[in-house]
């Protein structure tokens, strides 16, 4: 396993800014479960969303017993039509301060040799559901004057990769979507961060790879999600966890992308009046 130094985070300040409720789409295992555990430890109530209601109920009950939080669950396929709207409905009446888009996927195939249903499923999961949920919760954040959105994208979204055409393309949407929202709203008290996540030792990965797969290059998911929370509170638009070919250049890529964003924020004020 690769080590990832944990960034400092003020749990009290985080809970005050993004509580009292957080919604996690894709919460039953892996990175979603890691988010749930750390947020519950901060005293933040949770709306847990995934396809497996039994896993969500077990996790919610455990976190309620351990940390005294409240929780709701929604059994929802994130690739289904209307999934984002269903997530919003599940949180009606709650003071939500944080939305985490954490959809997992395992559609890895050569595009021309495969059918297109898997491709359309990824578009619904990583784009359509995110659009509807982020728009709905974002309206609430604008009204309350604070809030946060974490978009768990992937390093695959930084450029094309073989056997990952649709996955890389939809993750590129997620990264650019998060950066654009940050540019629009960070000066209004709403934080948005895109996470270019690395290879992580998650249940999804373990289901995909052979038993003898070398996991020495994979990260611990709880370290990645912790740093995502820290990056959100710090006001960062993008977090790239070094991974894969060219990883030594990725910290500079992250810095350059932020500098470009900041430049466009100032440039656009010429047209909007600030």
Instruction: Indicate the helix (H) or strand (E) that contains 72.
Output: strand 71-75
Q: Specify whether 201 is catalytic.
A: no
User: Which among 90, 75, 80, 81 has a CA at the least distance from the CA of 23?
Assistant: 90
Q: Specify whether 219 is catalytic.
A: no
- Inter-residue contact 77 to 50 (CB < 8 Å): no
- Inter-residue contact 100 to 73 (CB < 8 Å): no
Longest dimension (CA), the chain: 58
- Among residues 35, 71, 171, 219, the one annotated as catalytic is 171
- Among residues 35, 71, 167, 219, the one annotated as catalytic is 167
Q: Which residues pair with 251 in a beta bridge?
A: none
- Inter-residue contact 167 to 107 (CB < 8 Å): yes
**181: which residues sit within 8 A by CB, 6+ positions away?**
134, 138, 149, 192
User: Which among 241, 217, 198, 246 has a CA at the least distance from the CA of 6?
Assistant: 241
- Inter-residue contact 178 to 237 (CB < 8 Å): yes
- Residue 2 in 3-state DSSP? strand
Q: Which residues pair with 239 in a beta bridge?
A: 195
Which residues are marked as active site? 167, 171
């Amino acid at each position: 396993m690769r080590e990832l130094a944990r960034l400092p985070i003020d749990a009290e300040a985080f809970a005050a800014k993004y509580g009292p409720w957080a919604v996690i789409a894709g919460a039953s295992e892996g990175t979603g479960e890691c988010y749930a555990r750390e947020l519950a430890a901060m005293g933040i109530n949770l709306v847990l969303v995934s396809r497996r209601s039994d896993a969500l109920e077990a996790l919610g009950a455990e976190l309620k017993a351990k940390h005294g939080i409240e929780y709701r669950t929604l059994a929802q396929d994130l690739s289904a039509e209307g999934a984002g709207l269903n997530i919003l409905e599940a949180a009606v009446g709650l003071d939500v301060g944080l939305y985490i888009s954490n959809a997992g996927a395992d559609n890895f195939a050569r595009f021309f040799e495969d059918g297109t249903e898997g491709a359309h499923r990824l578009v619904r999961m990583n784009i359509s559901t995110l659009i509807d949920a982020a728009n709905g919760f974002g309206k609430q954040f604008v009204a309350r004057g604070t809030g946060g959105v974490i978009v768990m994208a992937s390093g695959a979204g930084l450029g094309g990769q073989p056997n990952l055409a649709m996955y890389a393309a939809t993750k590129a949407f997620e990264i650019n979507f998060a950066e654009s929202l940050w540019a629009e709203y960070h000066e209004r008290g709403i934080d948005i961060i895109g996470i270019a996540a690395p290879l992580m030792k998650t249940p999804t990965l373990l289901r995909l790879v052979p038993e003898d797969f070398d996991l020495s290059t994979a990260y611990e998911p709880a370290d990645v999600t912790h740093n995502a929370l820290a990056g959100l509170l710090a006001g960062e638009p993008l977090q790239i966890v070094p991974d894969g070919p060219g990883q030594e250049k990725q910290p500079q890529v992250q810095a350059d992308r932020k500098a470009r964003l900041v430049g466009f924020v100032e440039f656009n004020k010429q047209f909007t009046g600030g």
